[in-house]
Amino acid sequence: MADPLIGEPLALDLLNTRPRDGDRLADPAALRRWLELQDARGLLEVPAVTGPAELAAVREVRELAAVAVGRARRGEPVPGAVLDALNARLLAAPLVGELRPGPAGPVYRLRRTGPASARLAGELAEAVAELLTGGEVLAAVRDCAAEDCGLVFVPVNPRRRWCSPATCGNRARVARHYRRRRDGGGPDGL
């Protein structure tokens, strides 16, 4: 299966790991690949181990995010149980501040504590919380116009209709071309 769409806000990238054609986090190795892509963007650190516990934690947050973001996008209240579950993920891996040596002196940073699966779930729950409370970004989220896709994105251009012009956009253009030819509207169908 192809790599998931990467480049959206982290919460949307997480949702995009579950397109209509399957689960792109099917196993710990697939999770590790996705985490490495996010790490390259500076959004998540890859834990030393990505096993079944980490996979289960990420999938759980993804399902909570799907409900929360879906409801919020429709202007419906997010169920309290979903918010409570996201809060539990945040509390299971609290943020702590620490000073570390840096090249120009001490550097202060926040990091999550707890087991790898809890830290990962906490970071993703935080990304979901930021999306839910970032009104403009949430309002801009669109569904891909390709019927068989199911991915979401934030368009940079207001005319953007597909999650990826190179995949869904191209498939739509090719399908439109073949329909025209079949229906006699193209140069070969005269």
Give the per-residue pLDDT at 185. 61
Q: How much helix, strand and coil, in percent to the nearest 5, is found in the chain?
A: 50, 10, 40
Give the per-residue pLDDT at 1. 42
Give the mean pLDDT of the chain.
89
pTM score: 0.84
Quick one: pLDDT band at residue 161, thresholds 50, 70, 90? confident
pLDDT, tens only, 71-101:
999 999 999 999 999 999 999 999 999 999 9
Q: Which residue would you say has higher pLDDT here, 156 or 92?
A: 92
Distance CA 65, CA 67 (A): 5
In terms of phi and psi (left: phi > 0; alpha: psi -120 to 50; beta: otherwise), the region of 49 is: beta
Q: What is the mean pLDDT of residues 94-121?
A: 94
CB atoms within 10 A of CB 125: 26
Element (H, E) at 161: none
Judge whether residue 5 has pLDDT over 80: no
Q: Domain 10-144 is of which CATH architecture?
A: Orthogonal Bundle (1.10)
**Residue pointed to by tokens 């990304």:** 127
* Structural domain spans, the chain: 10-144
Q: Which residue would you say has higher pLDDT here, 168 or 115?
A: 115
